[in-house]
Each structure stands twice: as structure tokens, then as C-alpha cells.
């Protein structure tokens, strides 16, 4: 019987190391002679640098070097624009250290390298910088007004990008609609906040002439390529390794200034250099996300069917646009969600401000989109006196309508085209889980009679996952009894070592214990782009499947030759290839791997008698077209994104005296196509939901009018704890993707997307007797009481 590995809750192969304290995160790396770096950061949101005097700092005992912009040699150039876009007409990137102007609190001004981090921090205090303050731009609505102060004077505008997307004829749809409803909806600035901050260790190996960089990054290959180009090294002379990484959630897929500075310092000084971002730095030096202000309207017919949606929004880009306009573009494309929106006008301006730059954080523009669309749907239901589930049902893309084209170009440049799904079934399932009918008919009226404010919320979403360009995998069967699987995708907790092993084990039919997954090390695999956009399982998983299939074919061909049978007559079970119906006639993969390699040695317990058999001369040992290993490298490049989806329902209670909230139930039905490992998928959803709860109630990054961060610490930036996150109930729905060999879709960001919409829906319902409408997120108890007070005035 073939062993089924896909779909099994295989325990994680990563865990024993991590549980025993044997993980290796960047800050755990300790090299002989290593120096420690610290970055002097701008205390001003916007200022001209007049003068930097580092002489006192350089003279401090234990200080090895202080770098400013002028000391950066080949790195005295702007950081690259990583993702251009035709709508991004005014891109702007920074220097690795500010040249003459700083544009946000936290922008790097000087780099100190010293014998310890303690001394490096002493030295930061000894550097004198004279700044000429410039007017800060903080409020993005004011930033787009005529005559506004400018973040980048030379651009002549604060608008980095102006995008307009039109599907159908929105003008006509709105003109003919029975009803039009408008909302102004706001999602505040937030940030990913992995518990491990960023970190880099760089060392030049003079013996191998290799620059080795350990980096807490989601994309080591891209950084390898960039560093090689920047320092004039051959690609093989730069190795970037993402070791164990303590969470990323998007903020570690970037090319940050420190990723230039630390390798550069190591090259210049000839000693290893470590930089570990501290938490306070992380708040001002690692990218943020989320702030958007939407003016949205929906046109419906008398029965609540959507005729059109018009959404015009401002997106806060922060001070620079290194990652282009990915976030607002995703918002624009995904806003229609699982609903048919035949006429759609979406328009945004990405606006510079003197704040930390914005790039994707788990969800990447989707929580905003989902919030806007679901708020509009709830509004339609409320205004027309319809059930909220019914309005959703009436507007869903139907199961027989796939592939379904939204009509806009997605973040990967491909069409926004939903490949599969069953949205009505998804909603029906979650309504059943939460017992929607009973709650609405019996429970809620009873609770209301008791004076309690308990409401039910609904939210549905889609998520474009598994985008290109491509990922690859190398699979190699070793005579030692192992299968090596190498990919270019590092993990930050997503269990690649387990799920990719499951894929390889199933394709090859070997026990999973035999499989060794190597990831995140450019010396092992040098092509690919990284872990982001919920794409690992889809893109790398598919590449592993393709490569494993090829290796299996190689092994079968070899075995067929050896056993003198037709490959079609062979089967594989538990790592052994044998003739169908004659299990004694066969050989193991490991023997096959040895046979493939015509060497004179046969080591190891797996060596069999087959190998000691004298072989008559039969031409070259390695005939043309054959290779001495069972190995293959394959790439998978998706035609376009594959679309995961979900429906959520929650019941929550509002304490109208304090504005505090308590969840009674939180139910999720999720469709990520074929599930590789349900345990891992559920873990991803749990984590995403927790971040969504953060985004709904707790997490916001606040700047004052001078561009000073107000709550930049874990005391005041409120990550939910185990008390705030409720138990989460999950059911899976599987509509396999027709696009990839495994039928899988991504799940990484799923949970984070719908929660603000869900919570808003539930709060509205809980407070229906008071007439409250939620229009911004997050919503703390103070804001909630204010809403209640305003609606009851």
C-alpha cells in the first residue's frame, strides 16, 4: 500500500532542536574575534544633517570604527527599488546611512562597531550630530492637500503613486442603483512585531574568499544577489544564511540598510561583525504597515445584489517606497472578496509621510480590503433589513463560475483570477458551526432581555496566495539512506522542514525520517525569491513534488535496467523498488543511488551485494545522458495566484460600562485547497487570528504631530496575550487548486485578514439596540465607549 503523507498531522521535525534550546538564531552565532555594531538613529522625523562629529566616539576604549555616509565606499548609493510599478511615478529610496537628510525617527545616521554592544551603545551617546529641523509630514490627509509640506522636496509632491482601476461601468451602475451607501473607513498603522527582532552577522572567510552573512531574513537569495553586485563579488562568493528565524510576518522580507552596513563593516574591518536590533530600535527601524483611509460606496439593487463598488483611498507609504506599492495594490485587487462586483472603481494614492516606511505585514493590504467590503455588505443588510448571511449568499461568486476574473492586475502582474472555491458551502458550514439561526432567534433576544450586549459577526474573505515568480527545489537520494531536499525558501516557523518532507516522502514513497530538508542557505540553493505572500507550500511545495517525481523516475529507470524489467512493472514501497508481484526482486533507493555512481567504493550499511557484483565492460561507466546521482532540480512557476478563502463567525459580548469585550465563540471555516498538514494549517490560522485580534482591539502605532512615535515599546504597543485570544474552532473545506501539482493554496496570512471585519460586524450586532456602527480599527475600550456615547446622545 502506498504511504499517504499528504493530509496527515505529522509532528514537526523542527521541534526537538527548538524545544531543547538548540535552535540557532542569528544572535546565537558567536564567531572568534567578533565585533558588535549599533546604529545611531535620527531623533527627528524630518531634518537636514548639518554636521556629524564622531571623534569622541572613535576615541572611546573598545570602539573599533564609526561609519557615516561618507565612509561607505561602494555602498554610497541609494537602496534599490525592489518592486517597481507603472503607477509608482515618484519612487524614493534611502541611503544605507542618511546622506544629508533624515526622513523619519529611526533613520540610520551612523554605525558604531565596538568590542561589545554595551560599548557600542556608549559610543552612540558620544556622537554629536547637528540637525536643522524641517517640517514633518505626519497626517496623510493633509499631505495631499495643495501647499502641504513635502517629505521629499525634490519630488514636488507627497504622492508616490496614483492608481486607478476600473471594471465594467461603475458610473452607470451607481446611477441606476436602487440604493447607494457610503462609508468612511480607517485602519490604523500597525506593525508585524516578531518576537525575534532583526539581526545580522557577517564575516569574510579569507581562506575560501567568501562573505558569509547570517541574516534574520525571509529572503536570503535576493540579499545574496544584491550584496554580490554591491561589493563586486561573484555570486558564489556571498553566502546568505537565514538560520532559525524567530518570526517574520512580512517585515523581514526587505533589503534593509543594516543588510548592507554589517557586511560592509565586516569586509572593511576584516573581522566578523554582529548587529542585533533591540526592541526599541525595531519600532523605528523595521517597516510598518496598515494605515489606510477609505471612502467607499456600494450600489445595490432592491434585493441587495451588488451593482457596483467605488472605493477611493489614501495609503500611508511612510518615508520611502523600497517595496513599491504592493500593499495598496493588493487592497485594490482583493477588495471585492468572494463577491461578484460587476462594476468596480478603485483608486488610491500612496502618500509619503515622515514615518517608518511601509511594506507588507501578514495580510498585506487584505485586512483593509476585507474590512471595507464586509462593512459595506453589513451596511446593505442593515439598511435593507436583510439577514447579513443572506446578503452574502446573494452576492457570492458561485462554485460553477471558476475561474472567475475580478478584472484587475494582481500584485504579481497576472490577472486577479480566482481558480477554485465554494463560498456558499463555506458560509453554510460556519453558520452551522456557530449555530447562527439559534443564536439569532433564541439566544440573542434572551440575552438582550437580560440587558446583555451579545452579538454575532460574520466575515468572508479570499486571499491570493502562492504567487510567482517561481521557486525551485533540489532533491537528491544519497547512498547513506537519506533524501536531501533543498529549497531557497527560509522559514520563520511555518514548518517547511515538515511539510516539504511530507511532499517528498509521498512522491518518493520513503519514510519521512529519511528526508532532510535544507532551506534558507544560498550555498545549498541559490535561485528563488523567498518566503512571503503565503506561497511556500504552493510554490516550493510544488517544486519539491516535481523534483521528487523526476528523481523517482531516475531511480525506477535505473532499477529497471538492473533488474532487467520494464519500469512500468516496478512499484515503490517504503523506500524499496521492486517488481510488482515479486517483492524479493528489488533494491532500495539507497542501493540505486550507489549503483548510479560508478565509483570503486561501496560504504555503509545500505551497501548490498548488488554492488559487489563484477560488472563487465559495457562502454563508458557513465553513458551520455546519465548522471552519477539520483538527483534533480525542478522549478515551479505558477501561472497566477491561487485563491484561498474563508468564512468566520464569532459571538462576542460588549460590556457597555467599560467598553471591554469578551469572545464567546470564534469559528473559522477555511479553504486552502488540499491540506498538506492539518495541524500546521490550524496553527497558521490560530496565529493569524491572534494577530487579527491585535489589529481589531489592541495594536496600533501612534505618532504625534511632530512625527515622534508615542507608544514604541511593548508596554504600550499591545500584543494580545493568552488571556485576550479566545479558543478558536476550525473546520477545513478543501477545493483543490487546479493550478499546481499538489492542488494546494496558501494559508500563511489567512487568519489575519478577516478579524477586524468580523469583530466590527459582531460589535455592531451586539450594540444594535444602541445604534453603534464601527468604522475604524483597532477599537479599544475608550473608542468603543465614545461610539456608544455618541450614538446614544
Residues 113-152 touching another protein, rule: CB under 8 A, are: 117-118, 121-122, 125
Nearest to 338 by CA among 305, 292, 370: 370
Nearer to another protein, 278 or 383 (CB): 278
Q: At what angle do helices 589-596 and 541-563 cross, to 10 degrees?
A: 80
Nearer to another protein, 565 or 785 (CB): 785
Q: Which stretch binds another protein (CB under 8 A): 12-20, 323-331, 409-417, 515-523?
A: 12-20
Nearer to another protein, 255 or 697 (CB): 697
Nearer to another protein, 37 or 309 (CB): 37
Alpha-carbon span 673 to 657, nearest angstrom:
44
Binders of another protein in range 473-502 (CB under 8 A): 492-495
DSSP-based three-state secondary structure for 747: coil
Q: Is 713 in the site for another protein (CB under 8 A)?
A: yes
State the Rg of the chain over Cα: 28
* Site string (727-766) toward another protein, x via CB under 8 A: xx----------------------x---------------
Helices (H), 38-139: 55-59, 117-126
Q: Which three cell numbers stand for residue 593?
A: 543511488
Q: Is 580 in the site for another protein (CB under 8 A)?
A: no
Q: How many of the other CB atoms lie within 10 Å of CB of 33?
A: 9
- Residue partners of 448: CB distance under 8 A and separation at least 6: 454, 769
Q: Which three cell numbers stand for residue 668?
A: 473559522
Q: Sign of torsion, CA 56 59 61 65? A: positive
Q: How far is the CB of 343 from another protein (least distance, A)?
A: 38
User: What Cα–Cα distance (Å) separates residue 152 from each residue in 155, 206, 737?
Assistant: 6, 42, 45
Q: How far is the CB of 22 from another protein (least distance, A)?
A: 7
Q: How far is the CB of 755 from another protein (least distance, A)?
A: 11
- 455 with 759: CB under 8 angstroms? no
Q: How far is the CB of 102 from another protein (least distance, A)?
A: 21
Q: Which stretch binds another protein (CB under 8 A): 244-252, 343-351, 536-544, 556-564?
A: 244-252
Q: Is 705 in the site for another protein (CB under 8 A)?
A: no
Of the candidate residues 523, 660, 731, 770, the single one contacting another protein (CB under 8 A): 660
Dihedral of the alpha carbons of 408, 413, 414, 415, in degrees to the nearest 10: 0
561-582 per-residue burial string, b: 16 or more CB within 10 A, e: under 16: ebbebeeeebbbeebbbbbeee
Nearer to another protein, 508 or 784 (CB): 784
Nearest to 202 by CA among 249, 246, 259: 259
Q: Which stretch binds another protein (CB under 8 A): 152-160, 243-251, 384-392, 616-624?
A: 243-251
Q: Is 621 in the site for another protein (CB under 8 A)?
A: no
Q: How far is the CB of 647 from another protein (least distance, A)?
A: 18
Alpha-carbon span 727 to 587, nearest angstrom:
50
Q: How far is the CB of 229 from another protein (least distance, A)?
A: 30
What are residue 650's phi and psi, to 5 degrees? -140, 155
Nearest to 380 by CA among 174, 180, 649: 180
Q: How far is the CB of 772 from another protein (least distance, A)?
A: 15
Of the candidate residues 83, 166, 180, 280, the single one contacting another protein (CB under 8 A): 280
Q: Is 43 in the site for another protein (CB under 8 A)?
A: no
Q: How far is the CB of 250 from another protein (least distance, A)?
A: 12
Nearer to another protein, 21 or 616 (CB): 21
Nearer to another protein, 244 or 378 (CB): 244
Helices (H), 78-209: 117-126, 140-143, 170-176
Q: How many CA atoms lie within 13 A of 60 on its CB side?
A: 23
What are residue 125's phi and psi, to 5 degrees? -70, -15
Alpha-carbon span 405 to 114, nearest angstrom:
56
Alpha-carbon span 666 to 375, nearest angstrom:
19
Q: Is 194 in the site for another protein (CB under 8 A)?
A: yes
Binders of another protein in range 685-704 (CB under 8 A): 685-691, 698, 702
Of the candidate residues 3, 8, 23, 115, the single one contacting another protein (CB under 8 A): 23
Q: Is 605 in the site for another protein (CB under 8 A)?
A: no
Q: How far is the CB of 218 from another protein (least distance, A)?
A: 12
- Residue partners of 723: CB distance under 8 A and separation at least 6: none
Binders of another protein in range 769-788 (CB under 8 A): 780-782, 785-786
Q: Is 15 in the site for another protein (CB under 8 A)?
A: yes
Q: How far is the CB of 116 from another protein (least distance, A)?
A: 8
Nearer to another protein, 117 or 394 (CB): 117
Of the candidate residues 3, 7, 8, 11, the single one contacting another protein (CB under 8 A): 11
Q: How far is the CB of 730 from another protein (least distance, A)?
A: 9
Q: Is 383 in the site for another protein (CB under 8 A)?
A: no
What are residue 556's phi and psi, to 5 degrees? -65, -40
Nearer to another protein, 354 or 691 (CB): 691
User: What Cα–Cα distance (Å) separates residue 626 from each residue in 596, 598, 620, 659?
Assistant: 8, 11, 10, 71
Q: Is 560 left (phi over 0), alpha (psi -120 to 50) or beta?
A: alpha
Q: How far is the CB of 279 from another protein (least distance, A)?
A: 4
Of the candidate residues 278, 383, 390, 553, the single one contacting another protein (CB under 8 A): 278
Alpha-carbon span 447 to 453, nearest angstrom:
7
Q: How many CA atoms lie within 13 A of 488 on its CB side?
A: 27
Q: How far is the CB of 658 from another protein (least distance, A)?
A: 5
Tell me, by CB under 8 A, how many residues bind another protein: 79
Q: Is 30 in the site for another protein (CB under 8 A)?
A: yes
Of the candidate residues 324, 720, 754, 756, the single one contacting another protein (CB under 8 A): 720
Sheet holding 128-133, edge to edge: 101-102, 47-53, 128-133
Q: How far is the CB of 702 from another protein (least distance, A)?
A: 5
Nearer to another protein, 317 or 661 (CB): 661
Q: Which residue is it, cell 555594531?
A: 37
What are residue 225's phi and psi, to 5 degrees? -60, -45
Q: How far is the CB of 23 from another protein (least distance, A)?
A: 5
* Site string (662-681) toward another protein, x via CB under 8 A: -----------------xx-
Of the candidate residues 4, 22, 128, 172, the single one contacting another protein (CB under 8 A): 22
Alpha-carbon span 179 to 673, nearest angstrom:
36
Q: Is 718 in the site for another protein (CB under 8 A)?
A: yes
Q: Is 279 in the site for another protein (CB under 8 A)?
A: yes
Q: How far is the CB of 734 from another protein (least distance, A)?
A: 20
Amino acid at each position: 500500500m502506498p504511504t499517504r503523507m499528504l493530509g496527515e498531522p505529522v509532528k514537526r521535525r523542527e521541534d526537538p532542536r527548538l524545544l531543547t534550546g538548540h535552535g540557532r538564531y542569528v544572535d546565537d552565532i558567536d564567531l572568534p574575534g567578533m565585533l558588535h555594531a549599533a546604529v545611531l538613529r535620527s531623533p527627528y522625523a524630518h531634518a537636514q544633517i548639518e554636521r556629524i562629529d564622531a571623534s569622541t566616539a572613535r576615541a572611546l576604549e573598545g570602539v573599533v570604527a564609526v561609519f557615516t555616509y561618507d565612509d561607505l565606499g561602494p555602498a554610497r548609493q541609494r537602496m534599490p527599488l525592489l518592486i517597481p510599478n507603472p503607477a509608482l511615478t515618484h519612487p524614493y529610496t534611502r541611503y544605507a546611512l542618511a546622506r544629508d537628510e533624515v526622513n523619519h525617527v529611526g533613520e540610520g545616521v551612523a554605525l558604531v562597531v565596538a568590542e561589545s554592544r554595551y560599548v557600542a551603545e556608549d559610543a552612540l551617546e558620544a556622537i554629536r550630530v547637528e540637525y536643522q529641523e524641517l517640517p514633518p509630514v505626519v497626517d496623510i490627509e493633509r499631505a495631499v492637500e495643495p501647499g502641504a509640506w513635502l517629505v521629499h522636496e525634490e519630488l514636488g509632491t507627497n504622492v508616490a503613486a496614483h492608481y486607478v482601476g476600473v471594471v465594467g461601468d461603475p458610473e452607470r451602475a451607481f446611477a441606476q442603483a436602487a440604493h447607494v451607501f457610503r462609508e468612511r473607513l480607517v485602519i490604523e498603522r500597525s506593525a508585524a512585531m516578531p518576537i525575534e527582532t532583526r539581526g545580522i552577522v557577517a564575516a569574510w572567510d579569507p581562506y575560501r574568499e567568501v562573505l558569509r552573512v547570517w541574516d534574520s531574513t525571509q529572503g536570503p537569495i535576493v540579499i545574496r544577489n544584491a550584496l554580490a553586485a554591491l561589493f563586486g563579488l561573484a555570486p558564489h562568493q556571498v553566502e546568505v544564511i537565514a538560520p532559525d528565524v524567530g518570526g517574520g510576518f512580512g517585515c523581514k522580507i526587505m533589503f534593509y540598510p543594516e543588510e548592507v552596513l554589517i557586511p560592509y563593516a565586516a569586509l572593511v574591518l576584516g573581522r566578523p561583525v554582529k548587529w542585533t536590533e533591540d526592541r526599541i530600535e525595531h519600532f523605528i527601524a523595521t517597516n510598518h504597515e496598515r494605515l489606510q483611509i477609505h471612502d467607499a460606496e456600494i450600489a445595490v439593487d432592491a434585493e441587495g445584489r451588488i451593482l457596483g463598488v467605488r472605493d477611493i483611498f489614501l495609503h500611508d507609504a511612510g518615508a520611502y517606497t523600497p517595496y513599491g506599492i504592493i500593499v495598496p495594490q493588493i487592497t485594490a485587487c482583493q477588495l471585492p472578496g468572494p463577491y461578484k462586483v460587476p462594476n468596480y472603481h478603485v483608486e488610491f494614492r500612496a502618500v509619503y509621510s515622515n514615518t517608518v516606511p511601509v511594506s507588507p505585514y501578514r495580510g498585506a493590504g487584505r485586512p483593509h480590503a476585507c474590512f471595507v467590503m464586509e462593512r459595506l455588505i453589513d451596511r446593505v443588510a442593515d439598511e435593507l433589513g436583510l439577514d447579513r448571511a443572506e446578503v452574502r449568499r446573494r452576492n457570492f461568486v458561485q462554485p460553477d463560475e471558476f475561474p472567475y476574473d475580478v478584472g484587475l492586475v494582481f500584485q504579481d502582474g497576472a490577472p486577479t483570477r480566482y481558480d477554485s472555491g465554494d463560498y456558499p458551502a463555506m458560509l453554510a458550514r460556519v453558520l452551522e458551526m456557530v449555530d447562527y439561526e439559534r443564536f439569532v432567534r433564541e439566544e440573542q433576544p434572551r440575552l438582550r432581555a437580560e440587558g446583555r450586549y451579545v452579538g454575532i459577526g460574520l466575515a468572508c474573505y479570499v486571499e491570493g496566495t502562492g504567487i510567482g515568480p517561481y521557486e525551485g527545489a533540489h532533491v537528491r537520494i544519497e547512498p547513506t539512506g537519506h533524501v536531501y531536499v533543498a529549497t531557497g525558501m527560509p522559514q520563520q516557523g511555518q514548518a517547511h522542514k515538515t511539510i516539504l518532507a511530507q511532499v517528498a516522502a509521498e512522491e518518493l514513497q520513503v519514510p519521512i525520517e529519511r528526508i532532510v530538508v535544507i532551506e534558507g542557505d544560498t550555498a545549498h540553493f541559490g535561485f528563488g525569491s523567498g518566503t512571503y505572500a503565503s506561497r511556500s507550500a504552493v510554490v516550493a511545495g510544488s517544486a519539491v513534488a516535481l523534483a521528487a517525481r523526476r528523481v523517482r523516475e531516475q531511480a525506477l529507470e535505473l532499477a529497471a535496467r538492473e533488474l532487467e524489467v520494464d519500469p512500468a512493472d516496478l512499484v515503490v514501497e517504503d523506500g524499496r523498488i521492486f517488481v510488482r508481484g515479486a517483492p524479493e526482486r528489488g533494491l532500495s533507493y539507497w542501493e540505486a543511488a550507489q549503483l548510479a555512481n560508478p565509483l570503486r567504493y561501496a560504504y555503509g550499511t545500505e551497501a548490498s551485494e548488488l554492488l559487489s557484483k563484477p560488472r563487465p565492460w559495457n562502454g563508458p561507466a557513465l553513458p551520455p545522458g546519465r548522471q552519477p546521482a539520483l538527483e534533480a532540480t525542478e522549478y515551479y512557476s505558477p501561472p497566477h495566484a491561487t485563491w484561498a478563502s474563508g468564512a468566520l463567525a464569532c459571538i462576542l459580548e460588549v460590556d457597555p460600562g467599560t467598553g471591554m469585550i469578551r469572545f464567546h465563540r470564534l469559528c473559522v471555516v477555511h479553504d486552502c485547497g488540499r491540506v498538506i498538514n492539518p495541524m500546521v494549517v490550524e496553527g497558521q490560522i490560530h496565529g493569524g487570528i491572534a494577530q487579527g485580534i491585535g489589529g481589531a482591539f489592541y495594536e496600533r502605532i501612534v505618532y504625534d504631530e511632530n512625527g515622534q512615535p508615542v507608544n514604541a515599546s511593548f508596554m504600550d504597543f499591545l500584543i494580545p496575550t493568552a488571556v485576550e485570544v479566545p479558543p478558536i474552532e476550525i473546520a477545513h473545506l478543501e477545493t483543490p487548486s487546479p493550478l499546481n501539482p499538489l492542488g494546494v493554496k496558501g494559508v500563511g496570512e489567512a487568519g489575519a485578514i478577516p478579524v477586524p471585519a468580523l469583530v466590527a460586524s459582531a460589535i455592531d450586532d451586539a450594540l444594535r439596540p444602541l445604534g453603534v456602527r464601527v468604522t475604524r480599527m483597532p477599537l479599544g475600550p475608550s473608542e468603543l465607549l465614545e461610539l456608544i456615547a455618541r450614538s446614544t446622545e
